[in-house]
Protein backbone atom coordinates (compact mmCIF):
# COMPACT_ATOMS: atom_id res chain seq x y z
CA UNK A 1 0.00 0.00 0.00
CA UNK A 2 1.29 3.40 -0.91
CA UNK A 3 1.04 5.97 1.88
CA UNK A 4 1.53 9.53 0.79
CA UNK A 5 0.12 11.48 3.70
CA UNK A 6 2.09 12.33 6.83
CA UNK A 7 5.25 10.80 5.46
CA UNK A 8 8.28 11.56 7.62
CA UNK A 9 10.50 14.32 6.27
CA UNK A 10 12.81 13.00 3.60
CA UNK A 11 16.18 12.21 5.10
CA UNK A 12 18.41 14.83 3.52
CA UNK A 13 22.12 14.19 3.32
CA UNK A 14 24.84 16.40 4.74
CA UNK A 15 28.47 15.40 5.18
CA UNK A 16 31.28 17.59 6.54
CA UNK A 17 34.94 16.56 6.27
CA UNK A 18 37.92 18.42 7.65
CA UNK A 19 39.37 19.83 10.84
CA UNK A 20 36.85 21.85 12.90
CA UNK A 21 39.72 24.02 14.15
CA UNK A 22 40.94 27.56 13.73
CA UNK A 23 42.56 27.58 10.27
CA UNK A 24 40.64 24.46 9.22
CA UNK A 25 39.25 23.81 5.72
CA UNK A 26 35.93 21.97 5.61
CA UNK A 27 34.59 20.07 2.58
CA UNK A 28 30.80 19.82 2.71
CA UNK A 29 28.35 17.88 0.60
CA UNK A 30 24.63 18.48 0.65
CA UNK A 31 22.41 17.94 -2.38
CA UNK A 32 22.03 19.54 -5.78
CA UNK A 33 20.06 22.73 -5.40
CA UNK A 34 20.73 23.09 -1.67
CA UNK A 35 21.43 26.54 -0.26
CA UNK A 36 24.06 26.88 2.46
CA UNK A 37 24.86 29.68 4.90
CA UNK A 38 27.66 29.95 7.46
CA UNK A 39 26.83 32.38 10.27
CA UNK A 40 24.17 33.82 7.98
CA UNK A 41 26.47 34.36 4.99
CA UNK A 42 25.67 32.46 1.79
CA UNK A 43 28.27 29.96 0.60
CA UNK A 44 28.48 28.95 -3.05
CA UNK A 45 27.27 25.41 -3.70
CA UNK A 46 28.41 23.39 -6.74
CA UNK A 47 25.85 21.69 -9.02
CA UNK A 48 26.52 18.37 -7.26
CA UNK A 49 25.83 19.87 -3.81
CA UNK A 50 29.51 20.22 -2.79
CA UNK A 51 30.80 23.32 -0.98
CA UNK A 52 33.74 24.44 1.12
CA UNK A 53 34.42 26.91 3.87
CA UNK A 54 37.18 27.73 6.30
CA UNK A 55 37.78 29.02 9.80
CA UNK A 56 40.18 31.95 10.06
CA UNK A 57 43.19 32.06 12.41
CA UNK A 58 41.21 33.53 15.31
CA UNK A 59 37.77 32.11 14.47
CA UNK A 60 35.34 32.11 17.42
CA UNK A 61 34.52 28.85 19.20
CA UNK A 62 31.14 28.39 17.52
CA UNK A 63 29.75 28.68 14.00
CA UNK A 64 26.26 28.06 12.65
CA UNK A 65 25.78 26.14 9.41
CA UNK A 66 22.31 26.15 7.84
CA UNK A 67 21.21 24.12 4.85
CA UNK A 68 17.98 24.68 2.95
CA UNK A 69 17.12 21.79 0.63
CA UNK A 70 15.23 22.28 -2.64
CA UNK A 71 12.01 21.00 -1.06
CA UNK A 72 12.26 23.63 1.68
CA UNK A 73 13.47 21.29 4.43
CA UNK A 74 16.13 22.83 6.65
CA UNK A 75 19.06 21.45 8.60
CA UNK A 76 20.93 23.42 11.24
CA UNK A 77 24.34 22.47 12.64
CA UNK A 78 26.14 24.14 15.52
CA UNK A 79 29.84 23.70 14.80
CA UNK A 80 32.40 23.74 17.61
CA UNK A 81 35.70 25.24 16.46
CA UNK A 82 38.78 24.13 18.40
CA UNK A 83 41.32 26.85 19.26
CA UNK A 84 44.91 26.55 18.07
CA UNK A 85 47.86 27.65 20.17
CA UNK A 86 50.15 29.83 18.09
CA UNK A 87 53.88 30.26 18.58
CA UNK A 88 55.82 33.50 18.85
CA UNK A 89 58.57 33.39 16.22
CA UNK A 90 61.40 35.93 16.20
CA UNK A 91 63.07 36.61 12.84
CA UNK A 92 66.40 38.40 12.99
CA UNK A 93 69.19 39.52 10.74
CA UNK A 94 67.36 40.26 7.47
CA UNK A 95 68.94 42.77 5.08
CA UNK A 96 67.93 46.32 6.04
CA UNK A 97 66.27 46.98 2.63
CA UNK A 98 63.80 44.14 3.33
CA UNK A 99 62.96 45.33 6.84
CA UNK A 100 62.49 49.01 5.94
CA UNK A 101 62.36 49.12 2.12
CA UNK A 102 63.04 52.30 0.15
CA UNK A 103 60.01 53.93 -1.57
CA UNK A 104 60.69 52.30 -4.95
CA UNK A 105 60.97 48.82 -3.42
CA UNK A 106 57.93 49.48 -1.25
CA UNK A 107 55.94 50.34 -4.37
CA UNK A 108 56.90 47.02 -5.95
CA UNK A 109 56.06 45.15 -2.74
CA UNK A 110 52.58 46.72 -2.61
CA UNK A 111 52.06 45.81 -6.28
CA UNK A 112 53.02 42.18 -5.53
CA UNK A 113 50.69 42.04 -2.52
CA UNK A 114 47.79 43.47 -4.56
CA UNK A 115 48.34 40.90 -7.33
CA UNK A 116 48.28 38.01 -4.86
CA UNK A 117 45.22 39.42 -3.09
CA UNK A 118 43.37 39.71 -6.40
CA UNK A 119 44.27 36.10 -7.21
CA UNK A 120 42.83 34.85 -3.91
CA UNK A 121 39.57 36.73 -4.57
CA UNK A 122 38.87 34.79 -7.76
CA UNK A 123 35.60 32.89 -7.52
CA UNK A 124 35.67 30.47 -10.46
CA UNK A 125 33.45 27.46 -11.13
CA UNK A 126 36.37 25.02 -11.32
CA UNK A 127 35.35 21.82 -9.48
CA UNK A 128 38.91 20.86 -8.55
CA UNK A 129 38.16 22.27 -5.08
CA UNK A 130 36.38 18.99 -4.35
CA UNK A 131 39.58 16.94 -4.67
CA UNK A 132 41.41 16.34 -1.36
CA UNK A 133 44.91 17.87 -1.42
CA UNK A 134 48.14 15.97 -1.71
CA UNK A 135 51.28 17.58 -0.22
CA UNK A 136 53.18 19.67 -2.82
CA UNK A 137 56.55 18.71 -1.30
CA UNK A 138 57.53 16.20 1.39
CA UNK A 139 60.00 17.27 4.06
CA UNK A 140 60.35 18.58 7.60
CA UNK A 141 57.94 21.35 8.60
CA UNK A 142 60.10 24.43 9.27
CA UNK A 143 57.32 26.94 9.89
CA UNK A 144 53.74 26.48 11.01
CA UNK A 145 50.58 28.40 10.23
CA UNK A 146 49.53 31.22 12.51
CA UNK A 147 52.76 31.85 14.38
CA UNK A 148 53.24 35.48 15.36
CA UNK A 149 56.30 36.79 13.56
CA UNK A 150 58.44 39.34 15.34
CA UNK A 151 60.86 40.94 12.89
CA UNK A 152 63.81 42.64 14.59
CA UNK A 153 61.62 43.34 17.60
CA UNK A 154 58.55 44.53 15.65
CA UNK A 155 55.40 42.38 15.57
CA UNK A 156 54.42 41.56 11.98
CA UNK A 157 51.54 39.72 10.31
CA UNK A 158 51.08 36.14 11.50
CA UNK A 159 52.61 33.43 9.34
CA UNK A 160 49.94 32.66 6.75
CA UNK A 161 51.12 29.25 5.55
CA UNK A 162 53.23 26.17 6.15
CA UNK A 163 56.97 26.07 5.42
CA UNK A 164 58.37 22.77 4.22
CA UNK A 165 62.16 22.44 4.21
CA UNK A 166 63.56 20.73 1.12
CA UNK A 167 66.73 21.07 -0.94
CA UNK A 168 66.70 23.77 -3.62
CA UNK A 169 65.51 22.24 -6.89
CA UNK A 170 63.07 19.76 -5.29
CA UNK A 171 59.99 19.56 -7.56
CA UNK A 172 56.82 21.22 -6.25
CA UNK A 173 53.58 19.48 -7.25
CA UNK A 174 50.08 20.87 -7.60
CA UNK A 175 48.08 19.58 -4.58
CA UNK A 176 44.95 19.43 -6.73
CA UNK A 177 44.00 20.46 -10.22
CA UNK A 178 43.35 24.10 -11.03
CA UNK A 179 44.24 27.12 -13.11
CA UNK A 180 47.49 29.05 -12.71
CA UNK A 181 46.64 32.67 -11.86
CA UNK A 182 50.12 33.92 -11.00
CA UNK A 183 53.44 32.60 -12.34
CA UNK A 184 56.01 35.31 -11.48
CA UNK A 185 59.73 34.61 -11.13
CA UNK A 186 60.69 37.70 -9.11
CA UNK A 187 58.36 39.18 -6.52
CA UNK A 188 60.37 41.32 -4.07
CA UNK A 189 59.61 39.50 -0.81
CA UNK A 190 58.19 36.24 -2.14
CA UNK A 191 60.64 35.55 -4.99
CA UNK A 192 59.37 32.98 -7.50
CA UNK A 193 55.61 32.88 -6.92
CA UNK A 194 52.76 30.71 -8.19
CA UNK A 195 49.06 30.92 -7.29
CA UNK A 196 46.63 28.19 -8.39
CA UNK A 197 42.84 28.64 -8.36
CA UNK A 198 41.01 25.39 -7.55
CA UNK A 199 37.51 26.87 -7.78
CA UNK A 200 34.81 28.11 -5.42
CA UNK A 201 37.23 30.47 -3.69
CA UNK A 202 39.90 27.87 -2.91
CA UNK A 203 43.40 28.87 -4.01
CA UNK A 204 46.94 27.89 -3.12
CA UNK A 205 50.15 29.94 -3.02
CA UNK A 206 53.79 28.84 -3.51
CA UNK A 207 56.68 31.22 -2.85
CA UNK A 208 60.49 31.31 -2.79
CA UNK A 209 60.52 29.07 -5.91
CA UNK A 210 63.84 28.76 -7.75
CA UNK A 211 62.10 27.70 -10.94
CA UNK A 212 58.57 28.02 -12.34
CA UNK A 213 57.34 25.27 -14.66
CA UNK A 214 53.88 26.63 -15.52
CA UNK A 215 52.48 29.74 -17.14
CA UNK A 216 49.60 32.02 -16.28
CA UNK A 217 46.26 30.67 -17.48
CA UNK A 218 47.47 27.07 -17.72
CA UNK A 219 45.28 24.34 -16.28
CA UNK A 220 47.29 21.94 -14.13
CA UNK A 221 46.31 18.51 -12.88
CA UNK A 222 46.90 17.11 -9.40
CA UNK A 223 50.55 16.06 -8.98
CA UNK A 224 51.83 18.08 -11.95
CA UNK A 225 55.17 19.77 -11.28
CA UNK A 226 54.62 23.54 -11.09
CA UNK A 227 58.14 24.61 -10.11
CA UNK A 228 61.07 23.90 -7.82
CA UNK A 229 61.90 24.73 -4.20
CA UNK A 230 64.25 27.68 -3.74
CA UNK A 231 65.27 30.51 -1.45
CA UNK A 232 64.26 33.46 -3.64
CA UNK A 233 62.80 36.61 -2.08
CA UNK A 234 62.83 37.01 1.69
CA UNK A 235 63.74 33.44 2.65
CA UNK A 236 66.16 32.34 5.33
CA UNK A 237 66.95 29.07 3.50
CA UNK A 238 65.59 26.75 0.83
CA UNK A 239 61.98 25.96 1.68
CA UNK A 240 58.54 25.95 0.18
CA UNK A 241 56.13 28.39 1.77
CA UNK A 242 52.73 26.88 0.97
CA UNK A 243 49.57 28.92 1.50
CA UNK A 244 45.95 27.73 1.32
CA UNK A 245 43.20 30.32 1.01
CA UNK A 246 39.42 30.37 1.04
CA UNK A 247 38.97 33.66 -0.80
CA UNK A 248 41.24 36.06 1.14
CA UNK A 249 41.14 33.97 4.32
CA UNK A 250 44.44 32.21 5.02
CA UNK A 251 43.92 28.64 6.23
CA UNK A 252 46.31 26.09 7.75
CA UNK A 253 47.75 23.91 4.95
CA UNK A 254 48.63 21.18 7.46
CA UNK A 255 44.95 20.88 8.37
CA UNK A 256 43.87 21.08 4.73
CA UNK A 257 46.24 18.34 3.52
CA UNK A 258 46.17 16.08 6.59
CA UNK A 259 49.14 14.08 7.85
CA UNK A 260 52.15 14.11 5.53
CA UNK A 261 53.08 10.70 4.11
CA UNK A 262 56.52 9.50 5.19
CA UNK A 263 59.25 10.31 2.67
CA UNK A 264 59.76 7.28 0.42
CA UNK A 265 56.12 6.15 0.46
How many angstroms separate the first and last alpha carbons of the chain?
56
In angstroms, what is the minimal distance from the CB of 10 to Zn ion? Answer: 47
Whole-angstrom distance, CA of residue 209 vs CA of residue 240: 7
Cβ closer to Zn ion: 27 or 208? 208
Q: Which is nearer to Zn ion, 143 or 230 (CB)?
A: 143
**Whether the Cβ atoms of residue 164 and residue 206 lie closer than 8 Å to each other:** no
Cβ proximity to Zn ion, 163 vs 252, nearer residue? 163
Instruction: Compute the least distance from the CB of residue 164 to Zn ion, in Å.
Output: 9
Contacts for 99-104: CB closer than 8 Å, 24+ residues apart = 99/151, 99/152, 101/188
Largest Cα separation within the chain, whole Å, is: 82
Per CB under 5 A, 241 contacts Zn ion: yes
Question: Which of 163, 184, 190, 197 touches Zn ion by CB under 5 A?
Answer: 163
By beta-carbon proximity to Zn ion, the closer residue of 43 and 144 is 144
- 143 binding Zn ion? (CB under 5 A): yes
CB of 159 to Zn ion, least distance (A): 6
Choices 47-55, 92-100, 156-164, 246-254; region in contact with Zn ion by CB under 5 A: 156-164
Cα–Cα distance, 69 to 61 (Å, whole number): 26
Cβ pair 73, 33 in contact under 8 A: no
Q: Which residues bind Zn ion (CB under 5 A)?
A: 143, 163, 241
Amino acid sequence: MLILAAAPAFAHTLTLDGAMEQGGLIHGKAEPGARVTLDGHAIRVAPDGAFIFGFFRNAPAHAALDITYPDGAKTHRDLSVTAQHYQIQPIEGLPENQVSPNPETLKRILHDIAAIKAAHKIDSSDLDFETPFIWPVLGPISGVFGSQRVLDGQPRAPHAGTDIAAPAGTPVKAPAGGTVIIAEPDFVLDGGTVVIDHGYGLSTLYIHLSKIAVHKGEHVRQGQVIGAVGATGRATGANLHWGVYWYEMALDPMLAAGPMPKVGQ
